[in-house]
Structures are given as C-alpha cells and as structure tokens.
Amino acid sequence: MRLRGRLRGFGLKIGKTTPKSFEGRVRTLVADHPTLTLIAEALLRARAVLLDEFIKLDNKAHTLARHDPRARLLMTAPGVGSRVALTYAAAIDDPGRFKSSKSVGARFGLTPKRYQSGETDVTGRISKLGDAAVRTALYEAANIILERPVKGGWLKAWALGVAKRAGMRKAKVALARKLAVVLHRMLVDGMPFRMDKVAATA
C-alpha cells in the first residue's frame, strides 16, 4: 500500500496485480524515474523481507494446528483454516465455561445491540464486545464460505437464505455468529462438522 500510494502521487497507478507480478509492475512504472526507482527498490526489499517472515509464521501456524487436536477438529468445518481454528480454540479455552453454545456469539460481540424504553424496541448493529481477533477470524471464515467455491453443506445453504432476505453483508455477520455456536458445539461433543444437517443434529 505504501508503494501504491507513493506512485499514485506521481500519476503512476499499479492497478490489479498478482503476488508474482507486483514487483515487475512496479519496476516497469518507475523505469524512467531514477529517484522513484531508488525509493521503489528500497520498499520492494523491505516487502520481500516481510513476506519471507510472514510465510515462516504462517507455516508455523499450520504446524501448530496439525499438532493441536482441537484445531484439527475445528478445521473440519467449512471456511475454518489453521489461523481461525487456533484463534478460536485459544479464546474458548475450556468449552465448559459456557452454559450454552448459543451464548458464544454474544461473548464475541456478534449479537445485535438492543435499546428498549417504554414502547420503543430498537435492534441495532452488533455489539462488537469481547475478543476482536476472534470476531475477525469468524467473519473471515464466513466470507470464505459465501464468496469462494467451498463446500459449506447446510451451513452455506442457511447463510444464502439469510442473504436473500437481508443482503450479503448481514448474512456474513449472521454466519460468523452461527459458526461461533457450531464450533463451540463441536468442541463440547468432540465431533467433526457434518455437511448434512440431519446427521449433524443427530
């Protein structure tokens, strides 16, 4: 983003790129600008170092998830990868702390705020209380389920039904809340996710 901002100030737009084509695109744009070339090369070197460190951390997270029984269990759910599983499992800690799986959504600020006074009863946006990292992770998982061609079974079908009634944005929040409940139930029961809702209920 720093590179894009710097070049845009000189009327040079990077546009859409892939991770592999990004550096080449930047070098092509600054080829006729010696000063910009110096700046761009310095930022590209910094980007390369950060990317290398990110990959190492990402690989470490995958390794931790493979050796964590709870994370492996959670990753049977659609949209849930290593980072989402580890983040959620760490935040839940002991599933027995919650009297009901339905209360987990509120614990992470994924339930709507309500204002009641006399005859007034207004439902607002989600409260955003609790652990923001978990809320973000669950929303990302919901986004993957709805935006990418992944098998989501009854969970995806349910969320698409919400999207038809209330729009995609609200459907993602609702799905994130639903995921919080389903993942907690999985931890309590020690059972993997079932694509068939009937089987899952049984």
Query: DSSP letters along 45-98, please?
Result: HHHHHHHHHHHHHHHHHHHHHHT-HHHHHHTTSTT--HHHHHHHHHHH-SGGG-
> Looking at the structure, do residues 60 and 75 belong to the same domain, yes or no?
no
Count of structural domains within the chain: 2
> Looking at the structure, do residues 79 and 122 belong to the same domain, yes or no?
yes
Task: Print the domain residue range for 174.
Answer: 69-201
Point out the domain boundary residue: 47, 64, 81. 64
Per residue of the chain (202 residues), give pLDDT as tens. 889 998 998 999 999 999 899 999 999 999 999 999 999 999 999 999 999 999 999 999 999 999 999 999 999 999 999 999 999 999 999 999 888 898 898 888 887 765 555 555 444 567 777 789 999 999 999 999 999 887 878 999 999 999 999 899 989 999 999 999 999 999 999 999 988 864 444 4
